[in-house]
Amino acid sequence: MLKLVGIAGSVADQSYNRMLLKFIATHFSDLIDLEILDIDDVPMFNQSDDQTDGDAVQFLNRKITQADGVIIATPEHNHTITASLKSVIEWLSFKIHPLSGKPLMIVGASYYDQGSSRAQLNLRQILESPGVDAIVMPGNEFLLGDVKTAFDDHNNLKDDRTVGFLKETIGKFTQFVKVINSMNDKADEGWKKEDLESHGTVDTTIKGLDMHADDWVEQAAEKTHAAEGSDYVKLDRGVLTVDQLNWFLNSMPMELTYADDNNQFLYYNHTMDVKDMLAGRTPGSAGNPMADCHPKAAIPHVQQVVHMLRTGKTDLFKLPVPGMGPDKYIMHYYQAMHDDQGGYRGINEFVLDLMPIVKYYLEHTGQVLAKDPNAKADAVSGASSHAAAEKAKPDDVSGASADTEKPAEKPATDEVSGASASADVETKPAAPKDVDSVSGASAKD
């Protein structure tokens, strides 16, 4: 079970955010082991009066370092987090950095409708800033509004839909924690040499071009006298024109991306506008180094994934996207490509929504999704704990798993989503995600 710590961003005697964390700790004890840390004794940050080695700051430092992940519950004071919480983060990013690389989820409660949404945005910006460098779970905001009426006399949330949505969010965070911590494994640090800026060259690199040019494809085609249109291309078991290849690739029921072994993004099947894609790409992206295709904060994790594929730790890396509803389950697959001699030649990334396939199968076989009573699964997301985990170890990046050469002893269980042959997913639809998300001003905790 994951060991998490929770921090309520308030020092008030009556704190609804602390109450929310206590509810999470007790109500979801089958999913997580959550220890709630108080910040009452942490002094206000003062660089001239260094308290880094003081008991209060070191206690937080030790607990966060030892934890698998962190949940912060923030109130909203004048559209921002509290001064006390800001002070704590200052201490934790001054000379010590326990939040760096740590998976973290933000929740929050406030008196009014908006449920600390602006404070959560403010906190997210702080946590992702240089020096703090926490890995904050994207999306999945839990915003508890009208908090004075949200709890009953026993400090339990009264609304079942709210509890259901919170459970779903906690379930996704457990997957996120496993993924990030797997990627943070320091046993093999060769990934740090993975050059996502594509400074080097390989035998297929088209030299003398600006990789960042929007018309890189056109320049590269002209420089290499590339086949196009009705020109024929001989493939392993076929001869097609370039037009036929484009028609063929653009008709694939998934989004395809090709990055070479120099980590240069070379191709995607351009089938629709970026706003309609599952993973947005633009025509100007082709030719860019991979570093340009990812947020700066994600670069170390991308390096680790590429290194795993390059070194053969896995040939297929799977990554479900957090924040999806019952009608959508988007998967990112990163497949290592090899030449005839088995040498690594880059990555084939393909992205697709699995739910239409699942629904078609169920409709045409007369079956339904039902929980597997023998699977140790996350009741919300359906992530299952594989009996042969040591043989097919989850890659732990947002619920993704890395395939290994040895097959799992129970192949009926999907190690990525946790879906099993008998389908460990509830038949009832998930709670609507608009719970506690009505806009409005929020006030103090």
Same domain, 333 and 205: no
Could you tell me the pTM of the whole model?
0.48
Q: What is the pLDDT of residue 111?
A: 81
Same domain, 10 and 156: yes
Q: Model confidence over 279-336: pLDDT tens digits?
A: 888 899 999 999 998 888 888 989 999 998 998 888 999 988 765 667 888 999 999 9
Q: What is the pLDDT of residue 407?
A: 36
Same domain, 42 and 121: yes
Q: Model confidence over 215-251: pLDDT tens digits?
A: 999 999 999 999 999 999 999 999 999 999 999 999 9
Least confident of 42-51, 116-125, 374-383: 374-383
Task: Answer yes or no: are the C-beta atoms of 391 and 409 closer than 8 Å.
Answer: yes
- Single out the residue of 146, 176, 178, 144 nearest to residue 163, CA to CA: 144
- Whether 92 maps to a domain, the answer reads yes
DSSP 165-214: HHHHHHHHHHHHHHHHHHHT--S--GGGG--TT--S--TT--TTS-TT-T
Same domain, 91 and 8: yes
Dihedral over Cα of 197, 200, 206, 210: its sign: positive
Same domain, 111 and 206: no
What element of type H or E holds 345?
A: strand 344-353
Q: What is the pLDDT of residue 181?
A: 86
What element of type H or E holds 385?
A: strand 384-385
Q: Which of the given ranges, 6-15, 86-95, 323-332, 419-428, has the highest pLDDT on average?
A: 86-95
Same domain, 158 and 223: no
Average pLDDT score over residue span 351-355: 92
- Whether 326 maps to a domain, the answer reads yes
Average pLDDT score over residue span 148-166: 91
- Whether 438 maps to a domain, the answer reads no
Same domain, 267 and 146: no
Residue, of 320 and 173, whose pLDDT is higher: 173
Q: Model confidence over 404-441: pLDDT tens digits?
A: 333 333 333 333 333 333 333 333 333 333 333 222 33
Same domain, 96 and 161: yes
- Whether 80 maps to a domain, the answer reads yes
Tokens found for residue 8: 């309520």
Using CA atoms, how far apart are residues 301 and 308, in angstroms rounded to an integer?
11
Q: Which amino acid is at 224?
A: T
Domain holding 401, by residue range, is 319-430
Residue, of 175 and 14, whose pLDDT is higher: 175
Same domain, 28 and 176: yes
Q: What is the pLDDT of residue 362?
A: 93
Average pLDDT score over residue span 37-43: 93
Residue, of 166 and 436, whose pLDDT is higher: 166
Average pLDDT score over residue span 57-80: 91
Same domain, 8 and 130: yes
Using CA atoms, how far apart are residues 223 and 211, in angstroms rounded to an integer?
14
Same domain, 37 and 95: yes
Q: To the nearest 10°, the Cα dihedral for 336, 342, 345, 350?
A: -20
Average pLDDT score over residue span 331-346: 90
Same domain, 277 and 385: no
Q: What is the pLDDT of residue 325?
A: 66
Total domain count, the chain: 3
- Whether 298 maps to a domain, the answer reads no
Q: What is the pLDDT of residue 275?
A: 85
- Whether 392 maps to a domain, the answer reads yes
Place of tokens 């997301």: 381
User: What SS3 state is found at 435?
Assistant: coil
Q: Who's near 228: CB < 8 A, 6+ residues apart?
A: 221, 242
Q: Model confidence over 357-414: pLDDT tens digits?
A: 999 999 999 999 888 777 654 433 333 333 333 333 333 333 333 443 333 333 333 3
Using CA atoms, how far apart are residues 439 and 106, in angstroms rounded to an integer?
18
Q: What is the pLDDT of residue 391?
A: 34
Q: What is the CATH number of the domain that holds 8?
A: 3.40.50.360
Q: Which amino acid is at 385?
A: S
**Domain boundary residue, one of 116, 148, 183:** 183
Using CA atoms, how far apart are residues 16 and 109, in angstroms rounded to an integer?
7
Using CA atoms, how far apart are residues 316 and 304, in angstroms rounded to an integer?
13
- Whether 444 maps to a domain, the answer reads no
Q: What is the pLDDT of residue 118?
A: 87
Q: What is the CATH number of the domain that holds 269?
A: 3.30.450.20
Q: Which amino acid is at 162?
A: T
- Whether 170 maps to a domain, the answer reads yes
